[in-house]
Amino acid sequence: MLSRAAESIFWMSRYVERAENVARFIHVNLQLELDVAEMLGEQWDPLVKVTGDDRDFHERYGRPTRENVIEFLTFDRENPNSILSCVDRARENARSVREIISTEMWEEINRFYLDVHAPGAREQAAQESHDFFLNIRRASHLIEGTKNETMSRGEAWHFSRLGRYLERADKTTRILDVKYYLLLPSVGDVGKPLDDVQWTAVLQSASAFQVYRTQYGQIDSLRVAELLLLDRDFPRSVHHCVSYADASLHSISGAPRRGFHNSAERALGKLAAELDYTDVEEVVEGGLHEFLDGLQGKLNDAGAAIFDTFVALKPVG
C-alpha cells in the first residue's frame, strides 16, 4: 500500500473516533448538568480541557457557558478538534482513498458529513441536544460496523483499526485525568454523592457504566481506574486499545508478536508489555495524574513512530 493511502486511512479513522468522543463527552455532560446543577453549577470547562484546546477557547470565547462550549466543540471551523472539523477531515481522507475503502463505508462517511453540515444542525444541537449528539455517536458506530462488514482484513483495515484504537486510548486517559486532576472541587468531596455522580459520568463517557456495575458493583475510584486503564477485555480500556493496535501493527508488517522490526512496533510493544504488568494500586500510589500524563506521552510517541515508519520519506543514500 502507498504510504499516502495508509496515512489517509489511519487519520480517517482517528478523526471519526475523535468526533464520536467529543459528542460522547458533550452528551454525558448534558446529563451530568441535570444531576449536579444544584450542587455544582455548570460543568462545561472540563470538556474543553479534555480536548486540550482550553487556551484557544478562553482567548476567543471567554466564559465556558453551555452555548459557548457546544459551539466551540461542535461547529467551530477554527477549532481543529471540533466535530465539524473532524468530520470534514475524515471525509477528505476517505475521498482520497475511495478506491481502497468499501463503497458502503464511503457512503456512511459522506452521510455523516452531510448530517453535520445540514442547514438545521445548529438549531438541532441547541434545542434537541441529546438526540443530536447521540446521532453523531451512532453515525460513528455505523461507519465502524460497515467497515468491519465490508472490508477484508488486509493492510487498509489494519491501518484503520490502528488509528481508531490509538485515538480511543488517548481520549480514555484524558477523561480520567480531567476527573482526577481538575473536576473535583476539593479533597473533602471524595466519597460523597457528588464524587459518585462524577465517576459515573466518567464511566458513561467511555460507555463503561453497565460493564463496571456488572464486574464491580458500587462505584469505587480505584476500580474505575482499573477498568478504564488495565482491563484486557473492555474495548475502550487503554490496555485493550494498545494491545489491539499492536496486533494490527504486526499484521501490517508481518512480524511476529513480542518482537519488533521498526520503531513503531517497539514503541507500541513496549507500552503493551508495560500495561500487561501494571497494577492499579501501584499506579495510584505513584500518582494517577503522573501515570496518565506518561501514557499520553507514550501514545504520542507511538503515533510519531508510525508516521516515521510508514509515511515519512526516507532519504536516498
Same domain, 145 and 164: no
- Residue 225 in grid coordinates: 481506574
What is the pTM assigned to this prediction? 0.90
Helix (H) or strand (E) holding 2: none
Same domain, 193 and 109: no
Domain boundary among 108, 126, 151: 151
255 phi/psi in degrees, rounded to 5:
-80, 150
Exposed, middle or buried, 157 (CB in 10 Å: 0-12/13-18/19+)?
buried
pLDDT number for residue 27:
86
Same domain, 187 and 147: no
Same domain, 159 and 247: yes
Domain of residue 269 covers 152-317
Number of domains in the chain: 2
User: Which amino acid does the sequence have at 293?
Assistant: D
pLDDT number for residue 209:
93
Whole-angstrom CA distances from 36 to 31, 43, 63, 66, 221 are 9, 9, 19, 14, 18
- Residue 264 in grid coordinates: 513503531
Per-residue confidence of the chain (317 residues) as pLDDT tens digits? 678 899 999 999 999 999 999 998 888 888 777 766 555 555 788 788 877 888 899 999 988 888 999 999 999 999 999 999 999 999 999 999 999 999 999 999 999 999 999 999 999 999 999 999 999 999 999 999 999 999 999 999 999 999 999 999 999 998 888 776 555 545 445 555 667 777 888 898 889 999 999 999 998 989 999 999 999 999 999 999 999 999 999 999 887 777 788 899 999 999 999 999 999 999 988 888 889 999 999 999 999 999 999 887 555 45
Nearest C-alpha neighbor of 251 from the set 164, 150, 156: 156
Same domain, 126 and 249: no
Nearest C-alpha neighbor of 115 from the set 132, 102, 129: 132
Nearest C-alpha neighbor of 229 from the set 168, 163, 159, 310: 168
Same domain, 161 and 39: no
Cβ neighbour number for residue 237 with a 10 Å cutoff: 24
User: Could you give the residue ranges of the DSSP H alpha helices within the chain?
Assistant: 3-40, 45-51, 54-60, 66-74, 83-96, 103-116, 121-127, 129-150, 155-178, 193-205, 209-216, 221-230, 238-253, 263-276, 280-286, 288-310
Task: Indicate the length of the chain as a whole number.
Answer: 317
Question: The cell 470534514 sits on which residue?
Answer: 88
pLDDT number for residue 260:
82
Same domain, 130 and 159: no
